[in-house]
Structure 1
């Protein structure tokens, strides 16, 4: 595939710097950059647990420590408190 891209001065300078530091051709710099970006995206998609942890979703709620065992009685008591108008 052939790529034709227009770079402003800032990105042209960055590309020139990378070429100078690595002694790579433009094609190889672009391939390396694409590979790095691809790996980064793949890593983000593979680990949903870390995504939920980073966003603060995991561990954001509080409840009874024995909820998994006593969920029926906890729910019943909560509903009774909320809707028992006697």
Structure 2
């Protein structure tokens, strides 16, 4: 289906900015916008991982392999170091 839409200047700028930032075509940006709006309005269930990823909540880091075992001790030592400096 072909759609012809009239956008005011502000919305046209926003659309162009989204295209520039994402490297997607206007058609692709509008498809994504429709999908998201549809999901929002129909109460379509969302996957938690998608929500976290979209909001940059999922990341990665590096730590000592034994951190999961020793984290309480390391946290206590770190807090002790901080409180000792301020006494």
Question: More helix per residue: 1 or 2?
Answer: 1
Which protein has the larger Cα radius of gyration, Structure 1 or Structure 2?
A: 1
